[in-house]
Structure 1
Amino acid sequence: MDAVESLGFYCDHRLYPLNSYENRVYQVGIENATPLIAKFYRPKRWSAAQIQAEHDATLALKKAGVDVAAPLLMRGKSLFEHQGFYFSLTPKVIGEAPEPGNLNQLFQIGELIGAMHQASRDWQIEQRPYLSAIQRIERACKVVLESSYLPKSMTPAYVQVVEQLLLRITQTLPSHQSNSIRFIHGDCHRSNIIAHDDAMTLLDFDDCRMGYAVQDLWLHVSDANERRAQLSELIEGYESQCDFDSRELDLIDAMMAERTLVYTAWIAERWLDPAFPIIFPHFISEEFWRQHIQDLNDILVKWGQWR
């Protein structure tokens, strides 16, 4: 409340923590006004310049008519500091996450992502550069192997499946041109979209970066048995706003492997945060790691079935 009131607002003492493991996000009641969303950034994760690049991108998208939740501008600033923490304020968007597998909503999601990509088609965000799946996987693997959480008995199986995945990715990436890399949301799952009044609003650009368009689409496929129908709706909606290169579908397996590995390394890196053992108590069990290795092997087995 002190941080919010330092910008001239008056809080009504209604504070609600929102789901956010990486940062700390609160809905803050404001006297005689709509609540604000206050986002406090995890220290040392992003520099001020990188956070500002995120803000500038969302503000530019909003100006271009794309339905995104952009931070408030006050006296020409969107990023503020209070007691050593960077924070921002965003107007509350009322609604709920889209329903998994709803084909009509998948078309709308495709439209929204296509509009975002079309508006940002010529952008180059130097503060958020492209990192290949290989680079991100190698870093994640290093984090896991240097931690004490992976059982030693499972280390050989983990290393083996990671090496096999890296080989497949190495064989896949060269056929995709670097000039297809564009600005992307980077973490575009359904919890970062709000459906309201027959419209969709895209939230939380914390992981925005340069990448391939399909990265923002594939996370909305919620059922492997229905993936062709779901992808069809997503792409049809997308192409109503922006061209899509269907060859990028071959990258989804690499992106699945990357996300699975990076997610586990992320928990390992954050384990000393008091919230993480509470949220992920199974992380230190052998069953978690057995399932993790199985999930990686499943990606290998099903490789190349997205087209």
Structure 2
Amino acid sequence: MTVAHGATGRALRQLADAERQAIHHTDRVKDLALWRAAAFRLLRDLDQDTTDLHLLGQGNNVVFRVGAPNGPLVLRLHRPGVRPREVTEAELRFQAALSRRAAVRMPTPMMQAHGGYTVKTIVQGTGPVHADLSSWCPGEVRRPGSGLTLDDARRAGAALARIHQFSETYPAEPRWPVWNADTLFTAASPYEPGDLSRVFLPEQRAVLNFVEQRTREVLRTLPRRPDTFGVIHADFILGNLLFADDEVTVLDFDDCGLGWFVYDLCPLLGNLADQPDFAAWKQAVFSGYASIRALPDGALDKAVLQVLMAARHAAQCLWGAGLVGRGAEFDVGRHTAWRFEAIRRLLGSEAPFLS
């Protein structure tokens, strides 16, 4: 009898879960339909009338590929409360200047009639949002084992170096985040993770606190000069690089701000760190970078790189917490688990409790 009741209870819980998922899926479909309707209205207002709209992603913003009359475009609709319009304008000003003057391939932001890059629109059920349009860039994401070559890694390193070279003389925008230990690890993060105890268990907080402490120690040793600290991409990963023939296109400057150039190398290196021949991949990235400008301080220090790669993984846990706090559909538990596994591989020898 106990088994029967237990089985019935499990069945009822599974049914309830399935119903909740079905309701959530229906809500998301309705929500997306409202964002699509807003996109179509906005495109008509901008003389880009089309019926060809393909969803590319939805997280902190809702992104569509637009089959526009004069060629494909990318439309971003920014969810309210994620970041101010002024910060998006700063991102797009930097991106436009970079694409004009630094030989870096990237989507080109479209300036609007009022002289800025963003426009306002209304999403039913959400309210006012801001949006921007940029050019479409062809290419494919490549990873080790699925098309990525050492030459690709060299090209990626060179592209990042060009961004850093340009940023040495680019004036800082007042609303940009400064990527330091506070913005990477605390509630002050632009990711707006909220109360960290709401998402992370005490033992997980201990890991994050350890990485934060080591990151503070490392960043205190790094000089803050124009050749070491400036505008960084802050999300330079394989998923934001498109490869086509012998060219690489850099996407997604959403997180750009001020920070140490050596930290900006670490998201890409983190993508490659679990490869058996990581040394060869790192050398390829570094040789491409060094073909444009000198490697930043700390890049040749293994301990510095390991800590900053771990910092990137830890900071992305806060990014996930921010998504959950805004009601996004995101498996923060699974995401945190694999990020912590990467942290253990990088720093396990420093702190036995990580193992």
Structure 2 length-normalised TM: 0.74
Gap runs ≥5 in structure 2: 1-39, 123-127
| Correspondence for 1:245 | 296
Give the secondary-structure state (helix, strand or coil) at the position aligned to 1:98. coil
Is residue 2:173 matched to residue 1:125?
yes
Deviations along 1:7-48, whole A, 9 cap, x unmatched? 11121x1211113422110011123x3121100112122212
- Percent identity, aligned pairs only, is 22
| Correspondence for 2:308 | 255
Gap runs ≥5 in structure 1: none
Is residue 2:215 matched to residue 1:162?
no
Is residue 2:235 matched to residue 1:235?
no
Deviations along 1:199-250, whole A, 9 cap, x unmatched? 1111111110111222332322324332221111111111111221352454
When residues 212 and 303 of structure 1 are mapped into structure 2, their CA distance, relative to the original with a 3 A threshold, is: farther
Q: Contact conserved, 2:98 with 2:104, CA < 8 A, in 1?
A: yes
CA–CA separation in structure 2 for the residues paired with 1:131 and 1:206: 13
CA–CA separation in structure 2 for the residues paired with 1:45 and 1:245: 31
CA–CA separation in structure 2 for the residues paired with 1:244 and 1:60: 23
Is residue 2:295 matched to residue 1:226?
no
Give the secondary-structure state (helix, strand or coil) at the position aligned to 1:53. helix
Per-residue deviation, 1:255: 2.7
When residues 102 and 29 of structure 1 are mapped into structure 2, their CA distance, relative to the original with a 3 A threshold, is: same
Q: Which amino acid aligns with 2:305?
A: I
| Correspondence for 1:52 | 89
Q: Contact conserved, 2:111 with 2:117, CA < 8 A, in 1?
A: yes
| Correspondence for 1:207 | 255
Give the secondary-structure state (helix, strand or coil) at the position aligned to 2:141. coil
| Correspondence for 1:27 | 65
Give the secondary-structure state (helix, strand or coil) at the position aligned to 2:116. coil
**How many residues in Structure 1 have an aligned counterpart in Structure 2?**
291
Q: Which amino acid aligns with 1:238?
A: Y
Give the secondary-structure state (helix, strand or coil) at the position aligned to 1:205. coil
Give the secondary-structure state (helix, strand or coil) at the position aligned to 2:329. helix
Is residue 2:234 matched to residue 1:186?
yes
Give the secondary-structure state (helix, strand or coil) at the position aligned to 2:117. coil
| Correspondence for 1:98 | 142
103-112 or 135-144: bigger deviation: 135-144
CA–CA separation in structure 2 for the residues paired with 1:289 and 1:60: 36
When residues 52 and 117 of structure 1 are mapped into structure 2, their CA distance, relative to the original with a 3 A threshold, is: same
Q: Which amino acid aligns with 1:178?
A: R
Q: Contact conserved, 1:27 with 1:38, CA < 8 A, in 2?
A: yes
Question: Which residues in structure 2 correspond to 1:257-276 (within 5 Å)?
Answer: 257-271=310-324, 273=326, 275-276=328-329
Q: Contact conserved, 1:134 with 1:169, CA < 8 A, in 2?
A: no
Q: Which amino acid aligns with 1:16?
A: H
Q: Contact conserved, 1:68 with 1:201, CA < 8 A, in 2?
A: yes
CA–CA separation in structure 1 for the residues paired with 2:111 and 2:153: 31
Give the secondary-structure state (helix, strand or coil) at the position aligned to 2:236. coil
When residues 19 and 8 of structure 1 are mapped into structure 2, their CA distance, relative to the original with a 3 A threshold, is: same
Structure 1 length-normalised TM: 0.84
Comparing both chains, which one has the higher relative contact order based on Cα–Cα distances under 8 Å and sequence gaps of 6 or more? 1
Per-residue deviation, 1:162: 2.9
When residues 228 and 78 of structure 1 are mapped into structure 2, their CA distance, relative to the original with a 3 A threshold, is: same
| Correspondence for 2:25 | none
Is residue 2:348 matched to residue 1:301?
yes
Over the aligned positions, Cα root-mean-square deviation in angstroms equals: 2.6
When residues 223 and 44 of structure 1 are mapped into structure 2, their CA distance, relative to the original with a 3 A threshold, is: same
CA–CA separation in structure 2 for the residues paired with 1:104 and 1:293: 30
CA–CA separation in structure 1 for the residues paired with 2:262 and 2:184: 17
| Correspondence for 1:174 | 220
Aligned partner (choices 37, 52, 76) of residue 39 of structure 1: 76
Give the secondary-structure state (helix, strand or coil) at the position aligned to 1:17. strand
Is residue 2:49 matched to residue 1:10?
yes
